[in-house]
A and B are shown apart, each in its own frame.
Chain A
């Protein structure tokens, strides 16, 4: 275990009872250290336990055994220093964009003037200025996810947990938001790099965004391999057509392919 790990996951197992009464190992003895300020992607097909792992780190679910420490302390339930962005946005439909972004600071007892300032700042950061008084149902999918991102960041969490945040979007919006995500992340991390744990089933998305990629395979959910992404930051959209990008993509694909054909 590295000494300076931001998130230290050791021996995490998640078992639950399947429909037929059999025991399903969603996660099987997962060990993973995530460094401070790292952008780590967990990549894998559906059912590999990647979302389960994220939910356990978030504190939404408990592991059957094993331990997760953040800054050296075992986690106990959800906390505002571990922000979450969901695939389905999970915006509060009864609140406006401003209400959603301000929800975290308001929950933590900030004064209204401070909340208003944070709302303006983060709405600008994600490109939602002018939409503060709209309700989520009046926004497009891409704008909803921007709003969810701003809501998460308004709490200034050290860790951002993202569960396939772009999976519900169309291909073009998705690529555009990948670029945006990196820009927003680096701007929000100006004072201190935020650690990101990003769950996805898209190889290219994982490569484009991450410093490191962990590949998981299902039945039982295990970490099968690890890849370091060599591209420097800030990353330009063009690296997607770089030969090294394709090389890495093929390598990961072959690993997944071999596992799936097992």
Chain B
């Protein structure tokens, strides 16, 4: 087993462990910390694939901004342990088969097309940030400008929604 594959399995195990922990934990703050573990593991996988810029953005935006927002809201609302209800037991019968079916379907589709795709490039070999930014500001410049508008609308919406009514 090459070092890259070994690193992949360590990071993949970390990501799956974090996801399971997100489901099992009853306190929302513990779920949020588990999600941060998943995001850092995914950033490591992006580095392994050679997508350095995406890895940095993953850490800064997901691990930093979005998760801080989550933890902030959890603390603001003083969210405690979640309660178990009858619908949780109903979800056991509907949810697990559904999730297994979706995962199995995707895995079967991947297995069927196995060998068609070349292996992901090792770190730094394929893309650099310069290529990415050139593409972003040439071919994708209109979607890029639209996202800035989207962010503006989202900021306005968040302010209006979170405002206390007088």
A complexed with B: no
Chain B positions within 8 Å of A, measured between CB atoms, are none
